[in-house]
Amino acid sequence: MTTLQTFGRVMGWSCIAIGGAQVVGGVRVEPGMAGDETVDSHLRFMGAVFAGYGMNWLAASDDAPDLGRMRLLAGLMAVGGASRLLTRATLGRPHRFHDLLLAIELAAPAVVEVLARRDES
């Protein structure tokens, strides 16, 4: 198994686990999340979407990794990170846990590229 496949599978299973936790636990599973019904409903819905996103990482990291698809998925994650930056610019800094998420989201495309090049050599 290549390092790119391993990364894709870690991303996939992590996203599935996070999404599943959000579906089951709602706002209680994420630090700093406000607990009203609207936010809880939205988080649970987005948890299901995030789990589906994770399934795509798993599919892209199959026996013959699909680098184009992995680049797209990493790019989507970076767009999510850029969206977090909009929150900072318009509303302020969220809970510090989101700093870690932001770093992971913005780094994803670079990690995919580094691992793809490493596997080529």
Q: What is the pLDDT of residues 82-118, one digit of tens each?
A: 999 999 999 999 999 999 999 999 999 999 999 999 9
CA distances from 92 to 4, 28, 84, 88, 98 (A): 35, 22, 10, 4, 12
- Reported as a single tens digit per residue, the pLDDT across 54-67 is 999 999 999 989 99
Q: How confident is residue 121, by pLDDT bands cut at 50, 70 and 90?
A: confident
Give domain limits for the chain.
3-120
**Predicted pLDDT of residue 117:** 95
Please answer whether residues 15 and 54 qualify as being in contact, where contact means their C-beta atoms are separated by less than 8 angstroms.
yes
If phi > 0 it is left, if psi is from -120 to 50 it is alpha, else beta; for residue 36 that is: beta
**Predicted pLDDT of residue 34:** 81
**Predicted pLDDT of residue 32:** 85
